[in-house]
Amino acid sequence: MSSPISSLNQFEESTAFVTAGPVTLQGTLGVPDGATGVVLFAHGSGSGRHSPRNRFVAWRLREAGLATLLVDLLTEAEERVDERTRHLRFDIGLLADRLGSTVHWLAANPSTAGLRVGLFGASTGGGAALVTAAREPGKVAAVVSRGGRPDLAGDALAAVMCPTLLIVGGYDDVVIQLNQQALARLAAPVKELVVVPRAGHLFEEPGKLEEVARLAVAWFTHHLGTGGGPYAG
């Protein structure tokens, strides 16, 4: 990462509490002045709102004038269970239900109401983000998946109409194939798969997460904001 995560402190953050059915989810909300859209993060396998990779991308998005919400889709008790069983992180229906509740929360929250919503999904969160986009066609305006499993969205792919960007590392052979198959099934008229050369599943190689952030910023500012200009992928 080319910039320290502590740099996020230049943007004011607040704790968000989102009611999702019988549970309350906790998140971190950052809204820069004059925000032109808001990006909700769908974390992947065994990850949450404190993920340094997603926080780095969130920092870059806020630099570009987009609000961000990083939310834990599992409660602390569920996370403890999932550490042993590893099944909840693959429960795409459950994760999508909670993402949907969070999308509605953003629409009602005074600091984000009226902003177009994008979803940034990582790993299994990529599948959950696309299911949510299919379920909320009027509320989700764009999706970006980082090293995601869009294939886990299944039949919902045929109902996703919003602009969708899939980003995969060049070393992530199996996931590249799964993303290629998912891209073919996506109904979205605007869709793209970008393979980042010499990058692994987590984009830990020098400069590779920066490239993910650049792609995400370009996609979201173009499809959510009003001043992003042409998409420069």
88: pLDDT confidence band, cut at 50, 70 and 90? confident
The separation between CA 179 and the C-alpha centre of its own chain, rounded to angstroms, equals 16
Q: Do the beta carbons of residue 43 and residue 54 sit within 8 Å?
A: yes
Is residue 189 over pLDDT 80? yes
Q: Are strands 23-30 and 13-20 parallel, antiparallel or unpaired?
A: antiparallel
Torsional sign, CA 125, 126, 129, 131: negative
Closest by CA to 141, choosing from 60, 40, 33, is 40
Is residue 7 over pLDDT 90? no
Residue 194 is classified by DSSP as: E
Please tell me the pTM assigned to this model.
Answer: 0.90
Query: CA 233, CA 218: separation in Å to the nearest integer?
Result: 7
Q: Which residues pair with 24 in a beta bridge?
A: 19
Residues 146-155, mean pLDDT to the nearest whole number: 95
pLDDT value, residue 43: 78
Query: CA 102, CA 142: separation in Å to the nearest integer?
Result: 15
Record the tokens describing residue 178, joined without a space: 């799964």
Query: 166, exposed or middle or buried, with CB in 10 Å at 0-12, 13-18, 19+?
Result: buried
228: pLDDT confidence band, cut at 50, 70 and 90? very low
46: pLDDT confidence band, cut at 50, 70 and 90? low
End-to-end CA distance of the chain: 20
Q: Which residues pair with 15 in a beta bridge?
A: 28
| DSSP-assigned states of every residue in 205-222 | STTHHHHHHHHHHHHHHH
Q: How many CA atoms lie within 13 A of 164 on its CB side?
A: 32
Is residue 226 over pLDDT 80? no
pLDDT value, residue 74: 85
Record the tokens describing residue 57, joined without a space: 């991308």
Is residue 227 over pLDDT 70? no
Between 202 and 117, name the one with better pLDDT.
Answer: 117
Record the tokens describing residue 54, joined without a space: 């997603």
Residues 115-119, mean pLDDT to the nearest whole number: 98
Task: For each of the domains in the chain, give its residue range(s) and CATH number, in order of start.
Answer: 5-223 (3.40.50.1820)
31: pLDDT confidence band, cut at 50, 70 and 90? very high
Is residue 188 over pLDDT 70? yes
Q: What three-state secondary structure class fits 30? A: strand
Angle at 10 between CA 55 and CA 34, to 5 degrees: 90
Q: Indicate the helix (H) or strand (E) that contains 182.
A: helix 173-185
Residues 29-52, mean pLDDT to the nearest whole number: 85
84: pLDDT confidence band, cut at 50, 70 and 90? confident
pLDDT value, residue 47: 60
